[in-house]
Amino acid sequence: MANKTKNREFDYFEYFNTCADFICQAAEYLDNSIKHFNRETFFDCVNVMHKIENDADSNKHTMTSRLAHEFLPPIEREDIIALAGELDNVVDMIDDVMLRVYMFNVVRILPSVTEFSELIVKTAHKLKEAVAEFKNFKNSKNIRDKIVGVNTMESDGDILHARCLHDLYSSDIGARELIIWTFIFDELENCLDAAEHVVDIIETVIMKNS
């Protein structure tokens, strides 16, 4: 009886909110690390980001262990797993950006990178708003606007990505940096793509339960 009560009290929607908090934390830390870039101490920043990613993973493992014994989850198990995976993937993508900057031994940060990091922060917070509305998706009048907001920011990211690459390939930057920054700009765009995948799952759940 105690186990059933414990399982029944687990709030999956609050879990999703916690995932969104990790995304915002990771996005803000990426933005701060980029804006205050120090090549000599950047590995310390990588470790802090990896701690955020590990905490997000632990949070996911806790949820999946509960879900394995859940009698009647609030939405289908497959949807919970899919949404949890996509939320976790956003943090992973942000963590990957930090790792690439360190692995490629970046010497300087291009000015346009901060535009991307700022957009990732804005998208993370808009995503958090959509996730917060998800609990009341059957009655919410705002959730579709939140979803569209994330979609719009992802589209803005596509335009920014194209402009960044155009400027990069129009410059006299060396071949080594050209390769490095092409890869990093792709990784930055992946963060926004991952956020859009989250709201795609949310929209699918809404349609299935409408």
Domain positions in the chain are 2-208
String of DSSP letters for 107-130 = -S--HHHHHHHHHHHHHHHHHHHH
Q: State residue 8's pLDDT score.
A: 54
pLDDT, mean of residues 75-86: 93
The residue among 136 and 36 whose pLDDT is bigger is 36
Q: State residue 141's pLDDT score.
A: 84
- In this prediction the pTM is 0.92
**pLDDT per residue over 90-140, tens digit each?**
999 999 999 999 999 999 999 999 999 999 999 999 999 999 999 988 888
Q: State residue 65's pLDDT score.
A: 87
Count of alpha carbons within 13 Å of 187, Cβ hemisphere only?
19
**Which of these, 56, 23, 36, lies nearest to 130 by C-alpha position?**
23
Residue 72 in this model has a pLDDT that exceeds 90: no
Over the Cα atoms of the chain, what is R_g?
19
Q: State residue 9's pLDDT score.
A: 73
Using a CB cutoff of 8 Å and minimum separation of 24, what contacts does 158-163 make? 158/189, 160/112, 160/115, 160/116, 160/119, 161/116, 161/185, 161/186, 161/188, 161/189, 163/112
C-alpha distances (whole Å) from 93 to each of 19, 27, 108 are 14, 10, 21
**pLDDT per residue over 139-167, tens digit each?**
888 999 999 999 999 999 999 999 999 99
Please give the CATH number for the structural domain made up of 2-208: 1.20.58.220
**pLDDT per residue over 165-209, tens digit each?**
999 999 999 999 999 999 999 999 999 999 999 999 999 999 888
String of DSSP letters for 43-109 = HHHHHHHHHHHHHHHHHHHHHHHHHTT-SS-SS-HHHHHHHHHHHHHHHHHHHHHHHHHHHTT--S-
* Alpha-carbon gap, residue 122 to 117, rounded angstroms: 9
Tokens representing residue 53 in the block: 């990613």
